[in-house]
Amino acid sequence: MTVDDSLSPAGVATPHSSGIRVVVVGLGIAGLTTAIECHRKGHTVIALEKSPVIRVLGDSLGLGSNATNVLEKWADGKILQQLKSLADDISIFEALDSAGKLYAKDDAKGFGADNGMIINRGSLATTLHEYAKMLEIDIRFGAAVTGHWEDESAAGVIINGEQRLVADCVIGCDGIHSKTREAVLTKEPTAVPSGQAVFRASFDSTSVCNDPNARWILAEKGVRDRLSQYMAEGGLALSLATGKRGQNITWQLWHEDNHNANELWSEHNSAKLENALGMIRHWPIYSKVVPILRHTPKEALTDFKLVNRAALPTWISHAGRIIIIGDAAHPVLPIVGQGGGQGIEDAATVAICLQLAGKTHISLALQAVERLRYARTSIIQSSGPKIYAGVRNPDWKAIEKDPSLIMLPRPKWIFGYDVPRDVYEQFPLVKRAIEEGSSYTPKNIPPGGRYEFLHDFKE
Active site residues: 200, 230
> Phi and psi of 403, rounded to 5°?
-60, -20
- The DSSP call for residue 408 is P
130 is in an annotated binding site: no
> Phi and psi of 210, rounded to 5°?
-90, 5
Alpha-helical runs (H) found in 294-361: 339-357
On the 0-12 / 13-18 / 19+ scale of CB atoms within 10 A, 238 is buried
Q: Are 423 and 29 in contact (CB under 8 A)?
A: no
164 is in an annotated binding site: no
> What's the length of the chain?
459
Which of 99, 149, 96, 89 lies closest to 119 in space, CA to CA?
89
Q: What angle do CA 422, 427, 428 make, to 5 degrees?
A: 130
Residue type, 29: I
Q: What angle do CA 39, 117, 293 make, to 5 degrees?
A: 125
Instruction: Give whole-number Cα distances, 207 to 142, 163, 269, 287, 293, in Å.
Output: 35, 47, 23, 18, 11
| 3-state SS class at 105 | strand
Which of 109, 115, 116, 118 lies closest to 454 in space, CA to CA?
109
340 is in an annotated binding site: yes
CA–CA dist 129, 223 (Å, integer) = 29
418 is in an annotated binding site: no
CA–CA dist 162, 165 (Å, integer) = 10
Residue type, 259: H
CA–CA dist 321, 168 (Å, integer) = 7
Neighbours of 187 (CB within 10 A): 6
Q: Are 23 and 31 in contact (CB under 8 A)?
A: no
> Phi and psi of 282, rounded to 5°?
-85, -5
48 DSSP β-pair partners = 25, 140
Neighbours of 54 (CB within 10 A): 18
**Torsion region of 159: left, alpha or beta (phi above 0 gives left; psi -120 to 50 gives alpha):** beta
Instruction: Give whole-number Cα distances, 232 to 98, 208, 239, 255, 275, in Å.
Output: 6, 26, 12, 10, 17
121 is in an annotated binding site: yes
- Show binding-site residues: 49, 62, 121, 327, 340
- Show binding-site residues for FAD: 49, 62, 121, 327, 340
